[in-house]
């Protein structure tokens, strides 16, 4: 069975991509990060969901990217903003080069376990200042990986980064996931770490909009709607 490393935060995108990879016959090695997010809810949910999805392995890598702050997701001194459609600035929830760091570590993991496929749930469609969600970046990163790993350079076994949602909207993801029978009650998207999802942060608003557009009921409970 072919192994795949799946970048898995437990959110909507990565939950869907994990089940998509599974449906394509891959044995799943899920990889999550503890990178100084302000709450541990995301990781708790990810652990349960990975277990429920019957992955071969689920690793959590700890890395203190919060060391240099600069993001509301890792710096407890910056407030997480509420959603504002007019805001076209780079969001303060941006962690510098986050996907680059995650993909590098995924490549290290892939090489160590003999996987040649990495899945990531990024989308260019919902891109709002996250430059590391773009197709150009994914291609450049795949090229770097294939110049920096022994499997690719010495054994002629390149690693491929799959970003199947690159051109899909979140609503299309939800439709695809529903077809794949993904249990979205096991996913978590909210930037805040309350018992219920807040319903007002950027991430909650985009998720709710996606379910609405898909015409499917979000099974999560929300504090405010």
Q: Nearer Cβ to a copy of itself, position 137 or 191?
A: 137
Quick count: other Cβ atoms within 10 Å of Cβ 204? 24
Cα of first residue to Cα of last residue in the chain, in angstroms, is: 43
Smallest distance, a copy of itself to C-beta of residue 105, A: 6
Q: Does the protein bind a copy of itself through residue 149 (CB under 8 A)?
A: yes
Give the footprint of a copy of itself on residues 94-133 (CB under 8 A): 94-101, 103-105, 107-109, 111-113, 129, 131-132
Q: Would you say 10 or 36 has its CB closer to a copy of itself?
A: 36
Q: Order of strands across the sheet with 3-7?
A: 27-34, 3-7, 117-119, 160-162
Using the rule CB under 8 A, give the single segment among 14-22, 145-153, 199-207, 210-218 that binds a copy of itself.
Answer: 145-153
Residue 61 to residue 63: CA distance in whole angstroms: 6
Q: Nearest-CA neighbor of 17 among 130, 159, 165, 219?
A: 165
61 binds a copy of itself (CB under 8 A): yes
Give the range of 15-23, 140-148, 171-179, 210-218 binding a copy of itself by CB under 8 A.
Answer: 140-148
Pick the closest to residue 23 from 109, 158, 119 (CA basis).
Answer: 119
Distance CA 184, CA 174 (A): 9
Q: Which residues bind a copy of itself (CB under 8 A)?
A: 59, 61-65, 67-70, 90, 94-101, 103-105, 107-109, 111-113, 129, 131-132, 134, 136-137, 139-141, 143-150, 152-154
């Amino acid at each position: 069975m072919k192994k795949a490393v799946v970048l898995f935060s437990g959110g909507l995108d990565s939950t869907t991509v994990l089940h998509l990879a599974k449906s394509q016959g891959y044995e799943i090695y899920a990889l999550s990060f503890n990178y100084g997010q302000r709450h541990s809810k995301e990781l708790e949910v990810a652990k349960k969901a990975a277990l429920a999805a019957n992955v071969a392995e689920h690793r959590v890598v700890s890395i203190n990217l919060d060391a240099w702050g600069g993001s509301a997701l890792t710096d407890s001194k910056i407030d997480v903003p509420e959603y504002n459609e007019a805001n076209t600035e780079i969001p303060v929830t941006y962690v510098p080069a986050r996907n680059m760091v995650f993909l590098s570590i995924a490549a290290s993991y892939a090489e160590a376990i003999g996987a040649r496929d990495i899945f990531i749930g990024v989308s260019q469609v919902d891109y709002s200042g996250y430059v590391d969600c773009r197709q150009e970046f994914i291609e450049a990163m795949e090229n770097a990986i294939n110049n920096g790993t022994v499997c690719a350079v010495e054994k002629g076994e390149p690693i491929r980064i799959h970003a199947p949602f690159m051109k899909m909207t979140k609503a299309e993801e939800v439709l695809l996931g529903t077809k794949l029978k993904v249990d979205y009650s096991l996913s978590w998207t909210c930037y805040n770490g309350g018992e219920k999802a807040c319903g007002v942060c950027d991430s909650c608003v985009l998720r709710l909009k996606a379910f609405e557009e898909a015409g499917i009921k979000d099974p999560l409970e929300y504090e405010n709607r």
